[in-house]
Amino acid sequence: MIFDRHLTSLPWSDYELLDSGSGEKLERFGAVIVARPETQALWKKRHPDLWESAHARFSFEGAKGAWERKPSVPASWRLSWNDIRFVARLTGFKHTGVFPEQAPNWQWLSEHLGRTTSRVPQVLNLFGYTGIASIIAAQKGAFITHVDASRQSLDWARENAELTGVSEDAIRWILDDAFAFAKREARRGVAYDGIILDPPAFGRGAKGEVWKIETDFTPLLDILKKIFNDQPGSFFLANGYAAGYAPRSFAQAIESVFGETAGECGELYIKESTNERVIPSGMYVRFMR
């Protein structure tokens, strides 16, 4: 049975949620403070004066958005979480390449893979983006197959891995459509001890393949079941953003394929640094055998 448990990301040295409200959030990434749209922030801002300290602000004009930034904001800058190093940038999609709500899952991966094992765990990270989860797993002794359909994201992930000092032979970098790659692995009879899955609501593969979560999520799970090494110690971690689905929907989809299992699902929250208020920032489902 997958039980409900919400996870909250707390501030750390290189990140904090300073304030939120009126459809925005104010965050500090290292020394850079950014203001970004946040549809969940229906409430009033508690510290309006803090917003004047923003070094960059993302806003929409019609269907398009852009950053307005001070000259002091670098093109990229370095951050860390524990002993993991990575680069932040202001992208055209309002993101920075860092998703702080994932910190509890990073900790879970770190603790699970940090256990002594008799062999190197094989981990697949689909829709791997900038690779922080891959780097954490590699640092804990796993061999990672990191798949993403974006060359820019893949290069960013490799940059992060190099910055952290991950061995070049610890991660296999694959530029490909996640669904197509998983199908080929199933035909090859490959098995993974851990699967990390972070699908978008909509996306395109490296060759223009269309991904729609409402039609492709369960078929992808069927393929992943074939390449999942269903043995004690294996794990599965899925995340979801802005797809309009509840955590329980993801959990029941996963159990319909993998069978009833002991696991957790819930919302991912980010806590403001000055009070107990949180921003709902996604959802997750995870289990271990």
- Directed axis angle between helix 103-113 and helix 132-139, to 10°? 20
Mean pLDDT value of segment 239-251: 86
Q: Is 204's pLDDT higher than 80?
A: no
**Residue 215's pLDDT band (boundaries 50, 70, 90)?**
confident
Examine the pLDDT at 82 and tell me if it is beyond 90: yes
Q: CA-CA distance, 213 to 199, in Å (whole number)?
A: 7
Q: What are the pLDDT digits (tens) for 83-130? A: 999 999 999 889 999 999 999 999 999 999 977 566 899 999 999 999
Q: Find, among 287, 288, 289, 282, the residue nearest to 6 by Cα.
A: 282
Q: CB-based burial of residue 118 (10 Å sphere; 0-12 exposed, 13-18 middle, 19+ buried)?
A: exposed
Where does residue 107 fall: left (phi above 0), alpha (psi -120 to 50 degrees), or beta otherwise?
alpha
User: Tell me, what amino acid is at 1?
Assistant: M
Ranges 47-56, 130-139, 157-166, 204-213: which has the least confidence: 204-213
- Count other Cβ atoms within 10 Å, centred on residue 144: 27
Q: What whole-number percentage of the chain has pLDDT above 90? A: 84
Angle at the Cα of 224 (from 221 to 230), degrees rounded to 5? Answer: 115
Supply the pLDDT for residue 201. Answer: 74
The CATH number fitting domain 2-288, selected from 1.10.260.40, 3.20.20.70, 3.40.50.150, 1.25.40.10: 3.40.50.150
Q: How far is CA 189 from the centre of its chain?
A: 27
CA distance 69 to 56: 4
Please give the Cα distance from 38 to 36 (Å, whole number).
6
Which pLDDT does position 206 carry in this prediction?
A: 67
Mean pLDDT lowest for which of 73-87, 96-110, 144-158, 206-220?
A: 206-220
Dist. CA 83–CA 19, nearest whole Å? 27
- Tokens read off for 50: 């803090």
Give yes or no for a contact between 13 and 30, defined as CB atoms under 8 angstroms apart: no
Q: Give the mean model confidence (pLDDT) for residues 136-154.
A: 96
Total-model pTM? 0.94
